[in-house]
Structure 1
Amino acid sequence: MPQMEPLVSVIMPVYRAEHYLQQCIDSICAQTYSQLEILLIDDGSTDSSGEICDANAKKDPRIKVIHKEHGGVSRARNEGLDVAKGEYISFVDADDSLHSRFIENLVGICLKNDCDIAQCDYLSTAKSSLKLSLNPQYYIKLLNSGQAIHQLCSANDSSRYAVVWNKIYKRELFESIRYPLNRIHEDESIIYLLFWQANKIAVTNQYLYYYLRHTESIMGKPFSVKRLDVLEALKERSIFLKENGLCGEEVDTLKTMLYLIDKYCPFLKNDVEQKDIHNKLSREREKIIRQIPDALKKSGGRSLSDEQMRRTYSYPSASRIVLYGAGNWGQQYYRWICDNHHGTVVGWVDNRWYAFRDTGYPVQPIDALLRMEFDYVLIAIESETVQKEVLDNLVFWGIPKEKVLLPSAE
């Protein structure tokens, strides 16, 4: 007798998401994995979101709607956790969407590898973005709790680990864990605790979650002092790491706090109403600096030598170039090409394109690359592992391998 598929509870807080909600619900209902309990937590929406939830519940018996007074995403997720019946838990934001095999693939990975958490990669999209095809060539990496926390705190791709919605979890991980109330960046407050509780975590590089960036989302709005909630979450994490002997990860967390303080202080410096907060952050900054050993205070990736740059540029000087990657190496390559007039940058893509909107760099979502006319794509990423992932995806999406350039080795 075939084994029954385990029930998966999909928890989705809903608040004033009427423009995006139906697409999100459709992507959940269309999952190739059918054993779902879909919990739509209407968090006191003042638009038509509640009605959209109710209408969908009438069409699909797997959907259950909970209407409540507005209390924020953390309270909504907690209410979903309190009533969830699934053996596994997954979270979806109401303005995002899922690949049709999101649940099937992650449950399959959990069952095959006896994991407590399975994590996929995600694509950051704009409203006009294409849904890129799923590359069948992928890896699965198995981590223990300490290794997962190291990736969260120290890896170049830590954002994959920091969010809760690109994963599924065994429900028992949440027996003693709930979201803190009245915070944004709530994921940062619990994800390290979930990793710590897990015996084994599986990570795949398949893009199975589509994360929509738009101006109406919390993170798409202009700076607010609520953004500083992340510092409290990171401070709690650094204390936890110190208590559990993860000293390297503690230092990396403190360095992240320094980076964010330096990023946010300019927004507060000239605001009379926020002067006290600015002064408090300045004092916190000095305290953190004293906690970090001198040898570890330098951060950032390696710089590319001029010779490395020249060896990479084996293409004709009149070539049209698309840069893939806008981090440390991407910015170095961009400046070098512009300064030396060796080719023309006709496009620049990165999965965190939204983080560069205020920098003046013309970075776009990854799918924009498929609408560009170019001679070469230059993968401007330091990690050789990520370079290979990107190369495999580009070839699968129809870009000839001979049109892809990799950074020259030292």
Structure 2
Amino acid sequence: GIDWVFANSVSRWIAFVDSDDWVHPDFLKVLYETAEKTACKLSVCDYFRTAGEDFPVQPDGEARKLSSDDYYCGRYHNGGTATAWNKLYHRSLFQHLRYPVGKLHEDEFTTYRLVYQVKEVGFSPRVLYAYYQNPVGIMKSAWSPKRLDALEAFEGQIAFAQEREDGKLLEKAVKSYLYGTYEQLPQAPKVFRRELRKKLRRALRLAKQCDCLPRNQKNRWAYEAAYPCKPFWWLVSKFARQKGERIRE
């Protein structure tokens, strides 16, 4: 782990590769050159999901520098902003930061802190990381209480964004929390559903505060999942009509 690197290596840079993934031969070369060119302590490349296929034709485009918000909350990439892999880190970024031990989705607890620590990220559009889609991997395995770790991580991201008064990051974290809770709700055993509904209700309150989930027919699924024992949407509509309000479509 990171402690071993600090104790046994003099390398100034650290990268991670998951055990069933693979990288392009130029992976480290391009990431290092991107970091040098942009003068950033964190560089990132694009990736693709694969069931075994080789790397696709590489896209055109030069490495560029992005703000933390533009990278983590923007659309400059194919996802993977929170993952530990597809990145090259200057070792100084881990001087006072570690991945939590025993947590599933440990990168959701940590990567955002690394990204906002550097303030700017070097981004290469080249596809240099192959993410193997294992049909029995974490995201497709049977539900277990460890899946709640992801929601804990999103709660940490929300608190971090609120402390920084960062609207973009807060919206992203709230949406991740809301959708993550909603997806787990039907999968979890009955004993866990009460707590998950509490989390979903909190997520809806936060979404209302940051105006990232309009209260309309399109999004009624979230309210119906959070309040299954009463015709919540009907009540909201009724109260809105009584007050002369118009629910946004």
Q: How would you bin the TM-score normalised by the shorter chain?
A: 0.7 to 0.9
Q: Of 115, 120, 123, which residue of structure 2 is paired with 1:195?
A: 115
Is the aligned partner of 1:140 residue 2:60?
A: no
Q: Of 195, 200, 215, which residue of structure 2 is paired with 1:280?
A: 195
Could you report, residue by residue, the CA deviation over 1:112-155 in whole angstroms, capped at 9, with x for unpaired residues? Answer: 221111101111111xx32135426233231123333433xxx4
Could you report, residue by residue, the CA deviation over 1:357-392 in whole angstroms, capped at 9, with x for unpaired residues? Answer: xxxxxxxxxxxxxxxxxxxxxxxxxxxxxxxxxxxx
Given that 1:98 and 1:208 are in contact with CA atoms closer than 8 Å, whether structure 2 keeps it comes out as: yes
Q: Of 46, 67, 74, which residue of structure 2 is paired with 1:121?
A: 46
Identity of aligned pairs, percent?
A: 27
CA distance in 1, matches of 2:55, 2:200: 42
SS of 1:161's equivalent in the other structure is coil
Name the structure 1 match of 2:27: 102
The equivalences for 1:84-233 within 5 A come to 84-126=9-51, 129-135=52-58, 137-151=60-74, 155=75, 159-215=79-135, 217-233=137-153
Superposed displacement of residue 216, structure 1: 5.0
C-alpha distance 248-122 of structure 1, shift in aligned 2 (>3 A):
closer
Structure 1 stretches of 5 or more lacking a match? 1-75, 300-410
Could you report, residue by residue, the CA deviation over 1:219-261 in whole angstroms, capped at 9, with x for unpaired residues? Answer: 4423322122111001001101110110232133112211111
CA distance in 2, matches of 1:136, 1:256: 29
CA distance in 2, matches of 1:252, 1:133: 29
C-alpha distance 290-140 of structure 1, shift in aligned 2 (>3 A):
same
Name the structure 1 match of 2:173: 253
CA distance in 2, matches of 1:99, 1:120: 11
SS of 2:187's equivalent in the other structure is helix
Given that 1:140 and 1:204 are in contact with CA atoms closer than 8 Å, whether structure 2 keeps it comes out as: yes
Given that 1:116 and 1:199 are in contact with CA atoms closer than 8 Å, whether structure 2 keeps it comes out as: no
Given that 2:73 and 2:172 are in contact with CA atoms closer than 8 Å, whether structure 1 keeps it comes out as: no
C-alpha distance 242-83 of structure 1, shift in aligned 2 (>3 A):
farther
Superposed displacement of residue 199, structure 1: 4.0
Name the structure 2 match of 1:291: 206
Q: CA RMSD in A?
A: 2.4
CA distance in 2, matches of 1:206, 1:178: 28
CA distance in 1, matches of 2:124, 2:37: 13
Structure 2 stretches of 5 or more lacking a match? 216-249
CA distance in 1, matches of 2:153, 2:167: 17
- Residue type of the alignment partner of 2:54: K
CA distance in 2, matches of 1:158, 1:254: 20
- Residue type of the alignment partner of 2:149: D
C-alpha distance 93-82 of structure 1, shift in aligned 2 (>3 A):
farther
Equivalent pairs, count = 215
Where is the helix percentage greater, Structure 1 or Structure 2?
Answer: 2
Q: Of 139, 143, 163, which residue of structure 2 is paired with 1:243?
A: 163
Given that 2:59 and 2:125 are in contact with CA atoms closer than 8 Å, whether structure 1 keeps it comes out as: no
Q: TM-score, normalised by structure 2?
A: 0.77
CA distance in 2, matches of 1:217, 1:256: 20
The equivalences for 1:64-79 within 5 A come to 76-79=1-4
CA distance in 2, matches of 1:78, 1:298: 45
CA distance in 1, matches of 2:204, 2:77: 24
